[in-house]
Structure 1
């Protein structure tokens, strides 16, 4: 599992695997649907064909924006998606003048059946299409060979096999399980892919790409991302950050933006490969994860981008006032392993809390006013979804979505959500609701301290009936239940560090078996859990420890969900949006508290 390079804009998103092949192609939403399967580059020296998967490949970002450099011993490839148009450019620098073959194997609309591929002589391009999704592939200079064929059917392997002798058949059209290949010999080749929802728009995008060309598209894209990230350069100028941390900060904010669709839907990850391990993936919008990402954007002044996330999420609130488990980028309900009624109460609470923080920074009062009725509905649901004896929220799925319990993290998020509603009610001139929500929040807070703090252990516990240490206990100070320097918080976080430290990072909780790489450890270290401990240390003024935890993750180019505590290699999906959000937040807290 891994997509060490991702490229894109808010409509076309491309993931590159560890072999330098273009494997995930999402359009028109980031994360849905995935039309990709395998696009690769073949190199023929007159005797033998080698594909990208046959080489040792070096992958990196060429510029501070999403412009990739793919290198092997024979060629270099500069790959990027135009900042605005649905166009993928791949420039191949071919000093040995090998014959180049560009292979295209699509699964349009996430399945390989009923596709058509054909040569359009007039457009000088290979077209793939199904229903309302169209792709075109071409090269500058124009390709000298082509083939359209059948793959994985009746003993046919595809046009990549046709290319193995250095000559393509010239077949012009196929349907069903199709693929295609283009070939030419030149020391510099610009290969490009355009996408559209109609043939008319495809033709327009193709003409635009040919007229624009690689160089102009690259300069425009570099200028866009340089401008978007320019406000961060002063951090180095003021000697607040070294270049390594600044580059990872820029990459983190860029990744968050790359994982967000035009409509504001921000998916957890676009690494499709994890689907092999359970038949599903992370290509969904979790309201909680997206809200943390909005907080990260807000913390660095990207208020308009954060606003889009909240604008996408507000209409998804159920009639009763809570979020469901997760959503497709279209806004439809995603897959779930939770039984009806799908309540994971922390998502509603954290969304409200981070929306309040968004307003506090951005002062976008119109956004509050527009969604005021929904805010009230959500606040009243949080108020009602409680046990009257303890004041705590009723049992709900925990942060890790594994156990239905009355747990500390969810209780803290509900407290934060009710507190946010009270503050927003004050802004809207509703003192009655301000007092109502404030009273409810205080009852939750009292319940947290009475029932979820263990006097014997001198720390907070994971959940009622579960005394284990859990990294999510950072929520006690993060949602303002208690200040970071409160002795109960300090004791809890020190125990988190003591019990969950592994490989330089922090595991989720004692006994975490998710992708666990070896016995004798509490679980794999996660990026976000490591960084929330850093935030705690920044809050209490231990900046040396805070920075050391930030530096634990600073050797990654993109941040995964977890990492192997022994080899330090990424584990599970790469990249993960929340990991990058946590890095941006930890760095901001470290700098602001210096």
Structure 2
């Protein structure tokens, strides 16, 4: 059975990523890209669905792990009664092929090591044809896929598994390299694993060295930025929400979704996380991906796209997989891509506005596209939608969606006013005022002194925490402060923020899912804006405190089981952590005027 979500580490080559357990088992890998079919799927199935384990044969007395400096090179040290070894796992920056390199280094004594390699293409269902290549390498071929194992270790087949046993003495380093290639092409060229280690270390040292953040949270921010880089699909600039699918929001539950796609909703959050910490090249690549993805008729704009900007993300279920610790179904693709979610229009226009302030060169067609988007939004802003949380029930007039339509027109107006662009300014100003009045009249419950989930509702929704951050109302407006107090009363569980109001499920004795970590950080941001710096720091520290030993965070946190939940690692969580750290640092530097990154241009 798969380990706890927080037991995994991330390695990757900025085109795909793998999850490595504390026991030296790689249990998730989609090859050659984030959205490809998995060849190691034990994470959401069983060992028979694919994994690659390298670990001591004898009992492990002690195990520890770390990343080598500010890199994505994982080092796991195993101590046994006979000695100590370190397993070094990494994926080099991609050349002509994608590689996973595993180096077993002898640190002390002599340790017997076992390898179990189970390759299963097609999300754990297709057993490959295995043969020896001319150079002695092991080739596994199935349909369009091929992987090649290069190692000096003698291997053998056993029960549809490739196994090996070997000894590693102090001073020895034994390499094992697995390489992906298309089965119709020549076998990929073998790489030098030791040179690959040097190249990978240099790649990450150069990239991490560009970080401009120097505040007290540098270690957390740096690890989150590296994670965000690892989730970036380098060829297109798109950033996936997570490298996994179907890790449950509620442990053992059925809210299991595929996150290996790119959400427009994350646009502005991502932009600030990159720009405010020195990564303008990545911010520009994200802009280019956005522009290509949404090009065309604004009426056809989606909430998410594939890594190249693909629009059709058909959802189906892999019934042969048991699910993460039994959580079913396992979903591939995401049907929510077809939903109407009005908030993404605001995120898109806001992102382009912030790019202008950052002096990042925009494509000449950017403003024409924005005007078309706002022209379309003017016709549909007052329709009900599926909301920020992509609920699969009836559409509603969600408050956060309406607020973000206000943001769309507000940022369009500001782009005209500040950069001399041409647009129907009077029309946009009138719409901005109309939307603002509509939200305040129908989305605010005077009895609770709080903004609610949707028009006419009594329950709350954590997404309204963004109201002060986007500049819809001042941070200390009584309605904003009342909303914060109501969220503290009804949505906080054990010090963390739920995104849904538990009162929506009166028959439930437990929340339907874990606390949503990004929402907890949004509350911290609202505290900073309101001048409650100490409360913000306490909440930030609480979220940071549940990161695993490597600084990685999933989407949610089960406060009862004290376990991470949801897809892992989650880009939005790490983006929110980066931005809140920046906000806290800026607030400490200027206590009189907190420089909130999200709203500074509002």
Q: Same fold (TM over 0.5)?
A: yes
Deviation at 1:55, TM superposition (A): 8.4
1:331 and 2:309 correspond: yes
Q: Which has the higher helix share?
A: 1
Deviation at 1:218, TM superposition (A): 2.4
Would you say how many aligned residue pairs link Structure 1 and Structure 2? 533
2:218 corresponds to which of 246, 258, 262: 246
Matches within 5 A, 1:349-428: 349-361=346-358, 363-367=359-363, 369-386=364-381, 393-402=382-391, 403=393, 404-426=395-417
2:163 corresponds to which of 158, 166, 181: 181
1:158 and 2:152 correspond: no
Contact in 2 for aligned 1:2/1:575 (Cα 8 Å) = no
**Partner of 2:86 in structure 1?**
76
Deviation at 1:18, TM superposition (A): 4.7
1:249-271 Cα deviation digits (max 9, x unpaired)? 11111111111112122111123
Q: RMSD of the alignment, in Å? A: 2.9
1:120-165 Cα deviation digits (max 9, x unpaired)? 142x3112233443322122xx12x22246xxxxxxx333xxxxxx
SS of 2:54's equivalent in the other structure is strand
Matches of 2:67 and 2:523 in 1, distance apart?
A: 29
Which moved further from structure 2: 541-550 or 317-326? 317-326
Matches within 5 A, 1:57-96: 57-74=63-80, 75-85=85-95, 86-94=98-106, 95-96=108-109
Contact in 1 for aligned 2:179/2:188 (Cα 8 Å) = no
Specify every segment of 5 or more residues in structure 2 that has no aligned partner in the other structure, as ranges.
41-49, 316-333, 589-602
Specify every segment of 5 or more residues in structure 1 that has no aligned partner in the other structure, as ranges.
150-156, 160-179, 387-392
1:530 and 2:520 correspond: yes
**Partner of 1:560 in structure 2?**
554
1:191 and 2:197 correspond: no
SS of 1:581's equivalent in the other structure is helix
**Partner of 2:202 in structure 1?**
223
**Partner of 1:97 in structure 2?**
110
Matches of 1:313 and 1:130 in 2, distance apart?
A: 35
Matches of 1:374 and 1:569 in 2, distance apart?
A: 43
1:301 and 2:278 correspond: yes
Contact in 1 for aligned 2:525/2:536 (Cα 8 Å) = yes
Matches of 1:315 and 1:583 in 2, distance apart?
A: 28
Deviation at 1:77, TM superposition (A): 0.7
1:7 and 2:3 correspond: no
**Partner of 2:563 in structure 1?**
569
Query: Would the alpha carbon gap of residues 322 and 365 (structure 1) be closer, same or farther in structure 2, given more than 3 Å must change?
Result: farther
Matches of 2:478 and 2:344 in 1, distance apart?
A: 28
Contact in 2 for aligned 1:422/1:436 (Cα 8 Å) = no
1:270 and 2:243 correspond: yes
Deviation at 1:414, TM superposition (A): 1.1
Matches of 2:378 and 2:61 in 1, distance apart?
A: 59
Which moved further from structure 2: 465-474 or 13-22? 13-22
Contact in 1 for aligned 2:119/2:127 (Cα 8 Å) = no
1:342 and 2:339 correspond: yes
Query: Would the alpha carbon gap of residues 385 and 354 (structure 1) be closer, same or farther in structure 2, given more than 3 Å must change?
Result: same
2:444 corresponds to which of 453, 471, 474: 453
1:67-95 Cα deviation digits (max 9, x unpaired)? 11223333321111113442222111344
Deviation at 1:576, TM superposition (A): 0.9
Matches of 1:569 and 1:309 in 2, distance apart?
A: 32
Contact in 1 for aligned 2:112/2:168 (Cα 8 Å) = yes
Query: Would the alpha carbon gap of residues 339 and 535 (structure 1) be closer, same or farther in structure 2, given more than 3 Å must change?
Result: closer
Matches of 1:251 and 1:113 in 2, distance apart?
A: 35
TM-score, normalising length: structure 2: 0.81
Contact in 2 for aligned 1:15/1:25 (Cα 8 Å) = yes
Matches of 1:512 and 1:313 in 2, distance apart?
A: 37
Matches of 2:105 and 2:528 in 1, distance apart?
A: 46
Contact in 1 for aligned 2:23/2:55 (Cα 8 Å) = no
